[in-house]
Amino acid sequence: MAVDPLASFSRETFAGRVGERFEVAGGPALELADVVDRSAAGGDAPAGARSPFSLVFLGPQEPALGQGTRQVVHPELGDFSLFLVPVAAGPDGLRYEAAFG
């Protein structure tokens, strides 16, 4: 049985990777723009649970990705699926969010 890499990912997995490039199958490469702590008041998660966090990616205006699960490849983290949601458009490009609970 294959191990799901998402199960082992934490905020710390991505914290040092801001500015790095993530390739998206069938879409543009995205840059990790931010790693956001989503825990209530920065508190700790219950024992055995992952503290919630979000990844914010920046991509080009075109082609835009719709909301959905995308296959993502990173040279060190490997190949994994992320559910990406477009959240904002700005002069620097489109922002996408992937939430982890």
- Tens digits of per-residue pLDDT, 77-86? 999 999 999 9
- What's the pLDDT at 1? 44
Per residue in 31-51, is it b (16+ CB within 10 Å) or e — as a string? bbbebeeeeeeeeeeeeeebb
- Smallest CA-to-CA distance from 65 within 16, 11, 29, 17 is with 29
Q: What are phi and psi of 15, to 5 degrees?
A: -55, -40
Judged by DSSP in three states, 95 sits in: strand
Per-domain residue ranges of the chain:
17-100
Calculate the CA 85 to chain-centre distance. Answer: 10
- Tens digits of per-residue pLDDT, 26-79? 999 999 999 999 887 555 555 556 789 999 999 999 999 999 999 999 999 999
- What's the pLDDT at 7? 79
What is this structure's pTM?
0.87
